[in-house]
Amino acid sequence: MKKGIIFIIVLFAIGLLVGFYVARIYNGLVPLDENVNEQWSNVESSYQRRADLIPNIVNTAKGYAEFEQTTLIKVTEARSKATSIQIDPSNITPAQLKQFQQAQSGLTSALSRLLATFERYPDLKANENFRELINELERTENRINVERNRFNETVKLLNQEIRLFPTNIIAGMLGFEERVYFEADEGTENAPEVEFDFSS
């Protein structure tokens, strides 16, 4: 009788210790997971800021770039495509992130072509409103890069924790999975920089 009670107490104690250990791992993974979700929101916010600037840039250009309507249309279409892709940050798949990146890269490419054509319009380059919009666009592009890097840093912290033993076993049982990183777009290492000379 006593041996049975002792056995039950030992089993209960082991179960309690395992429960506490699993809870500790879970409570450690939740903040890391939430940090990734929060940082994804910052990435999306930066891209949205860029998307919000584009209509103002296009509208400002319309009065000057009468012969560049095709370029303006391509920018508008690329913006529409880029803003139509919505991703659940808690379940980003490599395919979803690739689709998101391709749409954003398409918009970046369309914007580069648009900005390159502005060089042909000295009056537009001299427009204060246009200059401020371009400066704001450059600041936003920098912010996008910063937020993407921060996203990758938070993903790295989560992924490292998930891969450690024995966390990797428990994380899988609790539904935590490794997240995907932003990767450099193909060919960006050779991408030309668009610079504007507003002095003329």
> How far apart are alpha carbons 23 and 170 in whole angstroms?
10
Rounded to two decimals, the pTM is 0.79
User: pLDDT by residue for the chain (200 residues), tens digit each?
Assistant: 677 788 788 888 888 888 888 889 899 999 999 999 999 999 999 999 999 999 988 888 877 756 567 888 888 999 999 999 888 888 888 889 899 999 999 999 988 888 887 777 777 777 888 888 888 998 999 999 999 999 999 999 999 999 988 888 888 888 898 999 988 665 444 443 444 444 44
From residue 130, give the alpha-carbon distance in Å to each of 59, 62, 109, 155, 191: 10, 11, 19, 37, 24
Domain residue ranges of the chain, discontinuous segments joined by +: 2-190
Q: What is the pLDDT of residue 1?
A: 65
Check residue 42 and give its pLDDT.
94
Q: What's the CATH architecture for 2-190?
A: Up-down Bundle (1.20)
Q: Exposure of 172 by Cβ count < 10 A (0-12 exposed, 13-18 middle, 19+ buried)?
A: exposed
CB atoms within 10 A of CB 113: 15
pLDDT on residue 11: 84
